[in-house]
A and B are shown apart, each in its own frame.
Chain A
Amino acid sequence: MSDLLIARSLFGTTMGFHIIHATIGVGLPLMMICAELLYQKTKDPDYVVMAKRWTKTFAILLGVGIPTGTIAGTQLSLLWPGFMEVIGRVMALPFQIEIYAFFVEALFMSIYVYAAERIKPWMRLASLFLVALGALASAVLITNVHAFQGTPAGFDVVNGEIVNVDPWKAFFNPSFFVTATHVALSAYVVGAFVVAMVAAFKLIRAEHGTRIYKFHQKALTLSLIVGGIFSLLTAVNGHASAQMLHEYQPEKLAAAEGLFETQSHAPLAIGGVTDKETESVKYAIEIPWALSFLAGNSFDTVVKGLNEWPENEWPPLFTHTLFNGMVFIGTFLILIAVLGLLWKKLFKKPNYPKWLLWSLVASGPLSILAMEFGWIFACTGRQPWNIYRVLPTADSVTSQTNLGPLFALFVAVYVILAAAALFVLLHYFKKNPVEKDFARAETKGVPLFSSNT
C-alpha cells in the first residue's frame, strides 16, 4: 500500500470507529429525555429506571467516544497537514464553536450523573437537556466541516494563495443545512433502533405478562415511535441531500447511481454492480425516468453522467453499492417501525411473533450499518478531492513515510477498546438487572443514578 492509501485507511478507520460511539452519543440523550419526561408525566417508575440504564450505557460509550474523538481531531492535523492549513485559514469557526459544545456536554454530563441526587429534579432535566444539546451541536458543527469539503465557499485561490476569506460565508456553505440535518436526524434513528434492539432481544427472553416484559415493551414502543418518526424524516431529507449532490457534486451522484451518459428521463438503478466495461449497472432493477424525477422533481431533468469527466476524476464506482445499502436499510427501518407499532393494534394479537422480534433485533446493527455506509459514501465519493475542486487528497497528505506500523497500532487500540467496552457493558448489566433498579427506584433515600453495584 502507498503511504497515501494507508493514511486514508487509517483516517477512515478512526472515523468509522468514532462514529459508532458518537452517533449513539447523539441519539441516546434524546431517548433519555423522552423517558424522563414520560416519568414526570406518568410517575411510572419504569421510565426513570429506563433513563438510568440508558445513562449508564451512554457513560460507558462516552468513555470511548471522547478519546476517539480526540484522536480524530488530532489525526486531522497529523495525517492531513495540508488540509488543516486550509481549514485553519478559512473554516476554523465550526471547530472553535464545537469546543463550546463539548464543554457544555462535559460539564452537564458530570452534573447529571455525579450530582443527580443532590440537585432539584428540574435542574436534572435541564442538565440532561444541555447534554443532548451539546451532543447535537457538536455533531452538526463537525459535519459542517465535512459539508465545506464538498461545497467549499467563502474564499478565492489566486496563484496558489488563499485570499478574500469570509469565514461566515464558509460556515454557511451551500450544503451545510441539508447535510447537518441529515446527520442529526440519522443519529436519532440510530439511537432509537439501538434501544429497540435491546428491548426486542429482552422480550424474546422474558416471560409474557411479567413486570420485566411490560418494562421492555414500554421501551420498545417508545423507541419505535421515535425511530419511526425520525427514519421517515431522514428519508425525506436524504432526498434533499441527493438533490444537493445533483446541483453541487454531479459526479458523485452519477457514481452513486451508476449513470454514464448524460440524459434526461434518466432511469434509477436499484441494486446491481456498476461495470466500467459495459458502462452499465449489471443485475440491477431499473425504474425508467425515476432518477431524473428524484434529482430535479421532473422527468425531463438532465442528469449528468460520468462520461462528462475524465476518468481520473471519477469517484470510486462501488459507492453505488454503499448508497443503495443506506437507502435500502432506511426504507426497511420505516417499515419495521410501523409494523412493530401496529402489530398489536392491527391484528389484535397478544404477543409479538418471533420473526418480528428478531427483525427488530436486527434493526439496531442495520441502522449503524446505514450510517457507516452513508459516511463512507460521502467521504469516498468525494475522491480524488479532499476539498472539492480545490485541494486534491494526494496534495494534503503528510510527507512522512512508513505509516504502516501506525495503522497497525491504532487498529489494535480500537480492537482493545471495543472488546473492553463490550465487556464492561455486559458485566455491568449482568450485575445490575432491572429488578435491582426497580427496588432502588421505589425505596426512598437510595440513590438510583449514582449506584454502580
Chain B
Amino acid sequence: MVDAYIAITILWGFVFIYAVMATMDFGAGFWSMLYINKNHTGATNIANRYLSPTWEVTNTFIVALVVAVYSLFPRGAYTLGTVLLIPGSFILVLLTLRSAFLVFSNIAEEYRKPLTYVSGICGFLIPGLLISVLPITHGQYIDTFEGGRQSLNLARLFTSPNEYAFFFFAISSTLFLSSLLLADYSKVSNEFHAYKIYRRDALILGPITMVMTIAIMVTLKREVPWLYNGMMEHLPLLILSVGFFLTGGLALFLPTRKNGARVFGMPRIAVIAITLQYLTASYVYGRAHLPYLVYPDVTIHTAFTDPSSFRAVFATYIVGFAILFPGFVYFWSLFMHDKKYLRRNAE
C-alpha cells in the first residue's frame, strides 16, 4: 500500500506545481489587461514578457495533472469525470478562449486591446472554477441515486458559503502571487516604475488573501467537520505557514540598494517565503483530506491503479523528468535569468 501513498504524493506535487505556475500565468494575464492603458509604467510589458514564452509550458502541466489522475487512480477518475462534467466543461471553455486569445493578442497587434480583454477576463475566472474541484471532492454536493448513479448538485454547490470562500481565495491568491512574482521580475529587469506598482498590489492583496483563508477555515468548520478537524491536528504547521506569510510581508519593506539608489523591498525573499507558506498550508490540507479522494466512497486505496501499471508509469516519470530537466534549466536561463533579455527596452 506504500505505492498508493507514492502515487498521491506525485499527484499532490503536480497539483502544487500547477497551482503556483497557473496563478502566475493567469495573474500575469490579468495585470497585463489592467495596465494596458498605462503604457508609460511598463507594467503591461513586464507581464507580457513573462507570459509569452511560458503559458504553453504551464498549460502542459494541467494536461499532466488530468493524465496523472486517471493513470494513478482510475476509479477516482471515473467518479470525478462523472460529477465534474458541467464545471469541467466550463473550465475547458474558458481555458480555451483564454489561451487562444492570448496567442492572437500577441500576433495581431492592432487588435491587442480587445483580445487581451477576452483572455484577461477568462483567466481571472478560471482559478476560481478550478479550485471548486476541491470542495466538490469533500462530498457534500454529490447526490447518489438508486443504482449508484452519481451527480453533482449545482444548486447546493453555488449556494454554499464554503464554495465561495474557496472561489474568492483562488482569485485573490492568483493576483497576490502573480503581483509578487512580477514585482520580483520587474526589479530584476530594472523597471522600477512597474516594480512600485506590483509591490503596492501585493501589499494590498496579501491581507485580502489572508482574510479569505480564514473564511475557508470558518466555513469548513461548519460544513466539513471531518476535514476541519483533520487540519487542526496539524495546528503547528498552520501557524508556521502564517509565519511565512508575515516573513513575506516584512520582506517587502526591507530597504536595499540597487544601482546606488535606495529601494524598498526584497521581492525575491517574499516570493520564496510566500511559496513556502502555500506549501505548508496545502500539505496540511492534503494530509487531512487523506485517505479520501472523493469523500466518502473513493479512497486512494480503492481507486488505485493496477500495480504493474503503476510501476511502468512511475518508471516513465523518473526517466521523463531526467530527460526533461536540462530542457527546463535551459528554458529558465533564457527567459527568467538572461539579464539582457529581461532588461531590453520596452518594445
Q: Which residues of B contact A107 (CB under 8 A)?
A: 57, 324, 327-328, 330-331
Q: Which residues of A contact B66 (CB under 8 A)?
A: 73-74, 77
- Whether A100 and B320, one on each chain, are in contact in the complex, defined by CB atoms closer than 8 angstroms, is yes
Partner of B324, one of A73, A85, A104, A111: A104
Instruction: Report the minimal beta-carbon distance from B114 to chain A, rounded to whole angstroms.
Output: 11
- Interface size on A, as a range, is 35 or more
Asked if B159 is an interface residue, CB under 8 A from chain A, the answer is no
- Whether B89 and A78, one on each chain, are in contact in the complex, defined by CB atoms closer than 8 angstroms, is yes
Question: Whose C-beta in chain B lies nearest to the C-beta of A115?
Answer: B334
- Whether B313 and A93, one on each chain, are in contact in the complex, defined by CB atoms closer than 8 angstroms, is yes
- Whether A88 and B74, one on each chain, are in contact in the complex, defined by CB atoms closer than 8 angstroms, is yes
Asked if A413 is an interface residue, CB under 8 A from chain B, the answer is yes
Asked if A348 is an interface residue, CB under 8 A from chain B, the answer is no
A111 in contact with B63 given A162-B306, A424-B107 (CB within 8 Å): no
Q: Which residues of A contact B331 (CB under 8 A)?
A: 107, 110-111
Partner of A109, one of B56, B70, B75, B100: B56
How would residues 56 to 81 of chain A score, 1 for a CB under 8 Å from any chain B CB and 0 otherwise?
A: 10011011101111110111011111
Residue of A98, A111, A420 most packed against chain B (CB within 10 A) = A420
Asked if B274 is an interface residue, CB under 8 A from chain A, the answer is no
Q: Which residues of B contact A168 (CB under 8 A)?
A: 312
Q: Which residues of B contact A67 (CB under 8 A)?
A: 59, 95-96, 98-100
Q: Which residues of A contact B47 (CB under 8 A)?
A: none
Q: Which residues of A contact B74 (CB under 8 A)?
A: 84-89
Q: How far is the CA of A398 from the CA of B152 in the complex (A)?
A: 13
Q: How far is the CA of A413 from the CA of B99 in the complex (A)?
A: 13
Asked if A92 is an interface residue, CB under 8 A from chain B, the answer is yes
Q: Which residues of B contact A64 (CB under 8 A)?
A: 100
Question: Whose C-beta in chain B lies nearest to the C-beta of A98?
Answer: B67
State which residues 127-186 of B face A: CB under 8 Å.
Answer: 149-151
Asked if A427 is an interface residue, CB under 8 A from chain B, the answer is yes
A106 in contact with B67 given A90-B309, A99-B320, A162-B306 (CB within 8 Å): no
Partner of B59, one of A70, A75, A119: A70
Question: Whose C-beta in chain A lies nearest to the C-beta of B319?
Answer: A100
- Whether A103 and B324, one on each chain, are in contact in the complex, defined by CB atoms closer than 8 angstroms, is yes
Asked if A452 is an interface residue, CB under 8 A from chain B, the answer is yes
- Whether A70 and B96, one on each chain, are in contact in the complex, defined by CB atoms closer than 8 angstroms, is yes
Q: Which residues of B contact A104 (CB under 8 A)?
A: 324, 327
- Whether B305 and A92, one on each chain, are in contact in the complex, defined by CB atoms closer than 8 angstroms, is yes
Question: Whose C-beta in chain B lies nearest to the C-beta of A453?
Answer: B109
- Whether B53 and A114, one on each chain, are in contact in the complex, defined by CB atoms closer than 8 angstroms, is yes
Instruction: Report the minimal beta-carbon distance from B336 to chain A, rounded to whole angstroms.
Output: 12
Q: How far is the CA of A114 from the CA of B84 in the complex (A)?
A: 36
Q: How far is the CA of A228 from the CA of B111 in the complex (A)?
A: 39
Question: Whose C-beta in chain A lies nearest to the C-beta of B150?
Answer: A399
What 4 A-B pairs are tightest by C-beta distance, nearest first? A63-B103, A88-B74, A92-B71, A81-B81
A-B contact pairs, 15 of them (CB 8 A): A56-B107, A60-B107, A66-B59, A70-B92, A77-B77, A85-B70, A88-B309, A92-B312, A96-B313, A99-B60, A99-B63, A115-B335, A167-B309, A399-B82, A428-B107
